[in-house]
């Protein structure tokens, strides 16, 4: 069952009923000012940091699920009938409804009783504000006297404090209303230098800034007193809950349409702030007034919106594919790329499942996100890498997360996830292959942001590798620390005392538990380091990295192989995890993916054997499960993983992030049918027809789909912010379609499904444009042997680097 459809031409997903199984959301903003918006206009906005600079308030885990947002109310002043044109929060019957989620904008249109309202929400490029453009049309054959009310609830900046510290917050709220603009100027325990404003293009009939006056006592957003009576109260908030609401009256002749523009923005007082009255430490409106006036003009809005569209044309223009599969084309050309940009901007901070409070930018997460967006915005990838590296400690260890506003490591979560440092090597390697910009390696980057501690980025990479080498366990495998990629596999947690709860011992960070996953990741990273060292002419060092990779490969084969698959780890007591020796958790997906990606077992058949075990034991029609059999109960020596009910999250859920590792591994062993089959199983566009089961948005990946052991097998959760986006993008574009950026050029080495006749692609690479055509005889399952580049035969599969601006035609044929 579907709840909408794709409009590929307009690059939109069109939702045709408001009561989707879950709120289906979208993101506004591309650089500094961001918002989340659901299909019923729920969500919130923030400046750079969803925790520290939250502009509008949102209450998670609410009932209904999604309430609080950018709401408009329309009131028919002749009858007193009022409704929300976005359905929420009044949930009144609508005669028509449509929500179009596009690239960084959302348009919600509806009609009731002959009044049509279409609202476009977006953030203009380069601005720290959002636009709501409401187009109200009277489709009746009589005149309409209407009221339009806007509403948002301000957050007192720090979202954590806002949601908890009521003894203070109920007394701090401050607003100002001047020339029809509502300013929110609450201080946050510091001298105020930032404020928010909410403006409207029409003359106001009234306004409200105190929530409980606007709503009325004991009322909710579905029944505001001001709307019900048809007149704002002109309330001024002193403490309690500051809001912004404009009241506009519209008289529309039959067939008449009117555009009303609202602008919600964030501003900081300039250095030379001038306050009125002087010394009052209030806000300085000088710089924002012209901005507000500019954006309240409908022509400016139309132009700003067109510019946003052109921005996306450029971003998406770098890679376009035409394959026999429309779901692949749609994801690669539009939605998967879009999701990669969103994960770049948000990391794991703010979605409808990430509260914007708990998690800032993840060290491992952002490094992996790079794989999906580096080709679109290499300059910002560079900046991101340097930011991440500056949070690395001198030991090579890494803070697990950092706050985007301060760019400082997050001490609450700390370090000790022993896979973290190696992701930096993999992220930088991806950047280098895409851009060829080796200067980044010489950039001075501090450790832990400490001034004076700068060392070239290359030194950071060295320490990342050494961090693993300095921390090997009893079998010579890397110590896992608090956890590796799998946050919930906490193998250094145990209790010495029976009956005592979960305990993290002194040993937890060093511990004795070892990870086969990190071992595989180390092999991959050491090989990348060898290539990077060679690039710098450090041949002896390169040889050391290669031999370290080889040695670790040997250790994996000796201690990490369970007979038919790779083991997952060894626990604190030296017992194997992910082994036939156990009755549960016998086989985990992660080491099968990561070891094969690193090349372990490719020569000796182990890789093929491991992948067969994955197919036999872990694959389901809804995707590949993380491990089997599920843990049936809590085991203290495994930690959080066994606390999940079977089939959910890390305990045998389909943790989608890991699936593309298997797709890539299958492509590496030449199995195009299986790689592509796995790709389609979790492709959200393919799953669109199952929306009543899948329940999350059909245009983006979710982190998890409930596994076979779960009563809700096939149900997705935690959409949007997941490494699934970047890795699936890599799996389909770089391995199945085989378009891989490399130091020497663009590799064209597809591993396709047997029944494909080929595909075409356009790929921007190092300033040139590669027009690629791959042809294949139906049924052929082989690989490309040579290329024809601009009419000349090139042996192998690398189309050489070309002059910037050049268009290079690449043809490849798969014969056998
Ligand atoms: C989740 C993980 C997540 C971690 C973050 C765990 O509860 O299962 O998926 O990465 O929390 O702290
Ligand atoms: C989600 C986290 O963001 C990611 O870093 C982690 O690898 C997975 N959960 C698996 O635990």
Distance CA 60, CA 693 (A): 23
Q: Are 251 and 145 in contact (CB under 8 A)?
A: yes
- Residue 650 in contact with ligand 2 by CB distance below 6 A: yes
How many Å lie between the centroid of ligand 2 and the Cα of residue 698?
22
Q: Whose CA is nearest to atom 5 of ligand 1?
A: 487
**Phi, psi (degrees; rounded to nearest 5) at 680:** -70, -30
The first and second tokens of residue 612, run together, are 């067969």
Distance CA 131, CA 35 (A): 11
Angle at 815 between CA 812 and CA 816, to 5 degrees: 140
Q: Are 89 and 220 in contact (CB under 8 A)?
A: yes
Q: Could you please report the per-residue DSSP string of 203-244?
A: PPSEEEEEHHHHH-TT--TTS-HHHHHTS---B--BSS-EEE
513 closest CA partner among 551, 475, 479, 562: 479
Distance CA 737, CA 458 (A): 31
The first and second tokens of residue 396, run together, are 């090579």
102 closest CA partner among 27, 176, 165, 42: 27
Instruction: Give the residue-averaged pLDDT of 229-237.
Output: 98
- Residue 649 in contact with ligand 1 by CB distance below 6 A: yes
The minimum-distance atom of ligand 2 relative to the CA of 364 is 5
pLDDT value, residue 58: 98
Strand partners, 54: 46, 157
Other CB atoms within 10 Å distance of the CB of residue 765: 23
Per cent of the chain over pLDDT 70 is 96
- Residue 488 in contact with ligand 2 by CB distance below 6 A: yes
The minimum-distance atom of ligand 2 relative to the CA of 722 is 3
How many Å lie between the centroid of ligand 2 and the Cα of residue 496?
28
Lowest model confidence (mean pLDDT) among 219-233, 277-291, 696-710: 277-291
The minimum-distance atom of ligand 1 relative to the CA of 413 is 12
The minimum-distance atom of ligand 1 relative to the CA of 358 is 12
Other CB atoms within 10 Å distance of the CB of residue 803: 9
- Burial (Cβ within 10 Å: 0-12, 13-18, ≥19) of residue 535: middle
> Residue 504: which pLDDT band, with cuts at 50, 70 and 90?
very low
**Span(s) in the chain for CATH 2.60.420.10:** 739-814
The minimum-distance atom of ligand 2 relative to the CA of 359 is 3
Instruction: Give the residue-averaged pLDDT of 749-769.
Output: 98
The first and second tokens of residue 671, run together, are 């199995």
How many Å lie between the centroid of ligand 2 and the Cα of residue 781?
35
How many Å lie between the centroid of ligand 2 and the Cα of residue 655?
9
Other CB atoms within 10 Å distance of the CB of residue 254: 12
- The CB-side HSE value for 661 (13 A sphere, CA atoms) comes to 31
- Residue 365 in contact with ligand 2 by CB distance below 6 A: yes
The SS3 assignment for 478 reads: strand
Instruction: Give the residue-averaged pLDDT of 216-234.
Output: 98
Please report which ligand is nearest the Cα atom of 588.
Answer: 2
- Residue 766 in contact with ligand 1 by CB distance below 6 A: no
How many Å lie between the centroid of ligand 2 and the Cα of residue 486?
6
Question: Is the pLDDT score of 776 beyond 80?
Answer: yes
The SS3 assignment for 110 reads: strand
The minimum-distance atom of ligand 1 relative to the CA of 704 is 9
Burial string for 697-716 (b: 16+ CB within 10 Å, else e) reads bbbbbbbbbbbbbbeebbbb
Q: Give the H/E segment covering residue 655.
A: strand 654-655
- Residue 487 in contact with ligand 1 by CB distance below 6 A: yes
pLDDT in tens, 407-427: 888 887 788 899 999 999 999
Tell me how far CA of residue 653 lies from CA of 27, 173, 620, 658, in angstroms.
27, 44, 11, 11
pLDDT in tens, 377-399: 999 999 999 999 999 999 999 99
The minimum-distance atom of ligand 2 relative to the CA of 485 is 7
Ligand 2 pocket, mutate which of 360, 363, 365 (most atoms under 8 A from CB): 365
Could you give the residue numbers annotated as active site?
487
Helix orientation angle between 420-435 and 457-469, rounded to the nearest 10 degrees: 140
- Residue 488 in contact with ligand 1 by CB distance below 6 A: yes
How many Å lie between the centroid of ligand 2 and the Cα of residue 487?
6
**Span(s) in the chain for CATH 2.70.98.40:** 4-269+278-312
How many Å lie between the centroid of ligand 1 and the Cα of residue 511?
21
- Residue identified by tokens 């450790």 is 447
Ligand 1 pocket, mutate which of 351, 487, 706, 718 (most atoms under 8 A from CB): 487
How many Å lie between the centroid of ligand 2 and the Cα of residue 369?
12
pLDDT in tens, 112-122: 999 999 999 99
Q: Are 288 and 266 in contact (CB under 8 A)?
A: no
> Residue 632: which pLDDT band, with cuts at 50, 70 and 90?
very high
CATH topology assigned to domain 4-269+278-312: Beta-galactosidase; Chain A, domain 5 (2.70.98)
pLDDT value, residue 190: 66
Question: Is the pLDDT score of 251 beyond 60?
Answer: yes
768 closest CA partner among 791, 745, 748, 737: 745
Tell me how far CA of residue 333 lies from CA of 320, 374, 532, 720, in angstroms.
5, 15, 31, 17
Distance CA 601, CA 70 (A): 54
Q: Are 194 and 53 in contact (CB under 8 A)?
A: yes
Q: What is the mean pLDDT of the chain?
A: 95
Ligand 2 pocket, mutate which of 343, 485, 721 (most atoms under 8 A from CB): 485
Q: Are 102 and 74 in contact (CB under 8 A)?
A: no
> Residue 287: which pLDDT band, with cuts at 50, 70 and 90?
confident
Terminal C-alpha separation, the chain: 40
CATH topology assigned to domain 739-814: Maltose phosphorylase, domain 3 (2.60.420)
Question: Is the pLDDT score of 507 beyond 50?
Answer: no
E strands present in 680-757? 702-705, 716-719, 739-742, 745-748
- The CB-side HSE value for 313 (13 A sphere, CA atoms) comes to 8
pLDDT value, residue 495: 52
**Phi, psi (degrees; rounded to nearest 5) at 778:** -60, 135
Q: Whose CA is nearest to atom 5 of ligand 2?
A: 365
**Phi, psi (degrees; rounded to nearest 5) at 467:** -55, -45
Distance CA 696, CA 23 (A): 8
Distance CA 88, CA 611 (A): 47
How many residues does the structure list for the chain? 816
pLDDT in tens, 140-184: 999 999 999 999 999 999 999 999 999 999 999 999 999 999 999
Lowest model confidence (mean pLDDT) among 20-24, 231-235, 279-283: 279-283
How many Å lie between the centroid of ligand 2 and the Cα of residue 48?
22
pLDDT value, residue 282: 66
- Residue 348 in contact with ligand 2 by CB distance below 6 A: yes
Q: Are 403 and 48 in contact (CB under 8 A)?
A: no
Q: Are 807 and 772 in contact (CB under 8 A)?
A: no
pLDDT value, residue 636: 87
E strands present in 21-104? 25-28, 33-38, 45-47, 54-56, 71-76, 82-83, 96-102
Ligand 1 pocket, mutate which of 413, 488, 647, 723 (most atoms under 8 A from CB): 488
How many Å lie between the centroid of ligand 1 and the Cα of residue 756?
39
Helix orientation angle between 606-617 and 659-668, rounded to the nearest 10 degrees: 140
Instruction: Give the residue-averaged pLDDT of 557-573.
Output: 97
How many Å lie between the centroid of ligand 1 and the Cα of residue 179?
48
Lowest model confidence (mean pLDDT) among 53-57, 265-269, 318-322: 265-269
Ligand 2 pocket, mutate which of 343, 487, 627 (most atoms under 8 A from CB): 487
> Residue 278: which pLDDT band, with cuts at 50, 70 and 90?
low
Distance CA 208, CA 151 (A): 9
Please report which ligand is nearest the Cα atom of 487.
Answer: 2
Distance CA 679, CA 115 (A): 44
Please report which ligand is nearest the Cα atom of 348.
Answer: 2
Q: Which residues contact 332 (CB under 8 A, 6 or more apart)?
A: 319, 321, 729, 732, 733, 737
- Residue 527 in contact with ligand 1 by CB distance below 6 A: no
pLDDT value, residue 498: 52
The minimum-distance atom of ligand 2 relative to the CA of 486 is 11
The minimum-distance atom of ligand 2 relative to the CA of 488 is 11
How many Å lie between the centroid of ligand 1 and the Cα of residue 595?
23
Q: Are 593 and 667 in contact (CB under 8 A)?
A: no
- Residue identified by tokens 């050489």 is 800
pLDDT in tens, 508-547: 455 899 999 999 999 999 999 999 999 999 999 999 999 9
Please report which ligand is nearest the Cα atom of 343.
Answer: 2
Ligand 2 pocket, mutate which of 657, 661, 719, 722 (most atoms under 8 A from CB): 657
Instruction: Give the residue-averaged pLDDT of 335-348.
Output: 96
The minimum-distance atom of ligand 2 relative to the CA of 365 is 5
- Residue identified by tokens 């060295």 is 462
pLDDT in tens, 362-381: 999 999 999 999 999 999 99
pLDDT value, residue 280: 56
- Residue 358 in contact with ligand 2 by CB distance below 6 A: no
- Residue 362 in contact with ligand 2 by CB distance below 6 A: yes
pLDDT value, residue 191: 64
Per cent of the chain over pLDDT 90 is 91
pLDDT value, residue 497: 52
How many Å lie between the centroid of ligand 1 and the Cα of residue 580?
26
Q: Are 531 and 432 in contact (CB under 8 A)?
A: no
Please report which ligand is nearest the Cα atom of 649.
Answer: 1
Please report which ligand is nearest the Cα atom of 361.
Answer: 2
Q: Whose CA is nearest to atom 7 of ligand 1?
A: 488
Q: Are 75 and 146 in contact (CB under 8 A)?
A: yes
Cis status of the peptide bond prior to 249, with omega within 30 of 0? no
Please report which ligand is nearest the Cα atom of 641.
Answer: 1
Q: Are 69 and 93 in contact (CB under 8 A)?
A: no
Q: Whose CA is nearest to atom 10 of ligand 2?
A: 486
């Amino acid at each position: 069952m579907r709840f909408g459809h794709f409009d590929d031409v307009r690059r939109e997903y069109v939702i045709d009923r408001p009561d989707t199984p879950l709120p289906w959301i979208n993101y506004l903003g591309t650089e500094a000012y961001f918002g989340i918006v659901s299909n019923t206009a729920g969500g919130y906005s923030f400046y750079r940091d969803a925790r520290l600079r939250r502009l509008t308030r949102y209450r998670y885990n609410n009932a209904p699920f999604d309430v609080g947002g950018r709401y408009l109310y329309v009131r028919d002043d002749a009858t007193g009938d009022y409704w929300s044109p976005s359905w929420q929060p009044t949930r009144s019957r609508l005669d028509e409804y449509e929500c179009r989620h596009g690239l960084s904008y959302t348009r919600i249109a509806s009609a009731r009783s002959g009044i049509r309202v279409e609202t476009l929400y977006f953030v203009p490029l380069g601005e720290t504000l959002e636009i709501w453009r409401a187009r109200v049309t009277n489709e009746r054959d009589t005149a309409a006297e209407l009221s339009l009310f806007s509403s948002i609830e301000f957050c007192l900046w720090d979202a954590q404090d806002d949601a908890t510290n009521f003894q203070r917050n109920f007394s701090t709220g401050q607003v100002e209303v001047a020339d029809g603009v509502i300013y929110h100027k609450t201080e946050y325990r510091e001298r105020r230098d930032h404020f928010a404003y909410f403006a409207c293009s029409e003359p106001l009939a009234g306004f409200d800034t105190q929530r409980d006056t606007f709503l009325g006592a004991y009322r909710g957003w579905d029944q505001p007193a001001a709307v019900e009576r048809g007149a704002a109260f002109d309330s001024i908030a002193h403490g309690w809950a500051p809001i912004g609401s404009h009241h506009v009256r519209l008289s529309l002749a039959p067939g008449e349409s009117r555009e009303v523009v609202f602008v919600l923005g964030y501003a900081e007082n300039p250095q030379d702030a001038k306050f009125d009255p002087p010394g009052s430490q209030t806000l300085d409106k000088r710089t924002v007034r012209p901005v507000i006036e500019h954006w309240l003009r409908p022509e400016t809005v139309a132009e700003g919106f067109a510019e946003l569209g052109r921005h996306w044309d450029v971003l998406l223009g770098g890679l376009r594919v035409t394959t026999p599969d429309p779901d692949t084309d749609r994801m690669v050309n539009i939605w998967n790329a879009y999701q990669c940009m969103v994960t770049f901007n948000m990391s794991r901070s703010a979605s409808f499942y990430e509260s914007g409070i708990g998690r800032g930018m993840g060290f491992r997460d952002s490094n992996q996100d790079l794989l999906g967006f580096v080709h679109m915005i290499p300059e910002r990838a560079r900046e991101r890498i340097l930011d991440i590296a500056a949070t690395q400690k001198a030991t090579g260890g890494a803070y697990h997360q950092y706050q985007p506003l301060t760019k400082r490591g997050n001490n609450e979560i700390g370090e000790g996830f022993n896979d973290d440092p190696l992701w930096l090597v993999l992220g930088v390697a991806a950047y280098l292959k895409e851009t060829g910009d080796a200067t980044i390696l010489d950039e001075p980057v501090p450790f832990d942001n400490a001034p004076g501690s700068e060392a070239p980025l290359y030194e950071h990479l060295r320490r990342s590798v050494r961090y693993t080498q300095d921390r090997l366990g009893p079998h010579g495998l890397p110590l896992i620390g608090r956890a590796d990629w799998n946050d919930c596999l906490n193998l250094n947690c145990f209790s010495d005392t029976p009956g005592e709860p979960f305990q993290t011992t002194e040993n937890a960070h060093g511990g004795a538990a070892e990870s086969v996953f990190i071992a595989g990741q180390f092999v991959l990273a050491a090989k990348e380091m060898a290539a990077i060292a060679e690039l710098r002419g450090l041949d002896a060092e390169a040889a050391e990295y290669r031999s370290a990779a080889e040695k670790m490969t040997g250790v994996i084969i000796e201690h990490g192989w369970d007979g038919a698959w790779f083991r997952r780890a060894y626990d604190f007591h030296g017992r194997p995890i992910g082994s036939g020796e156990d009755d549960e958790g016998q086989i985990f997906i992660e080491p099968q993916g990561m070891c094969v990606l690193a090349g372990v077992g490719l020569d000796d058949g182990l890789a093929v054997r491991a992948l067969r075990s994955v197919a036999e034991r872990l694959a389901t029609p809804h995707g590949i499960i993380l491990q089997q059999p599920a843990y049936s109960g809590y085991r203290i020596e495994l930690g959080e993983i066994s606390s999940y009910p079977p089939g959910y999250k890390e305990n045998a859920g389909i943790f989608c992030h890991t699936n593309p590792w298997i797709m890539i591994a299958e492509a590496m062993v030449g199995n195009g049918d299986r790689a592509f089959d796995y790709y389609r199983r979790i492709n959200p566009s393919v799953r669109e027809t199952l929306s009543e089961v899948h329940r999350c948005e059909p245009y983006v990946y979710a982190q998890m789909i409930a596994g076979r052991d779960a009563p809700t097998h096939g149900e997705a959760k935690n959409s949007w912010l997941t490494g699934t986006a970047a890795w699936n993008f890599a799996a389909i574009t770089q391995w199945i379609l085989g378009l891989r950026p490399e130091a020497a050029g663009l590799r064209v080495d597809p591993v396709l499904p047997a029944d494909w006749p080929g595909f075409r692609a356009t790929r921007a690479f190092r300033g040139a444009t590669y027009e690629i055509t791959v042809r294949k005889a139906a049924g052929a399952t082989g690989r490309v042997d040579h290329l024809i580049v601009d009419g000349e035969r090139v042996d192998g599969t690398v189309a050489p680097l070309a002059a910037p601006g050049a268009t290079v035609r690449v043809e490849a044929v798969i014969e056998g």
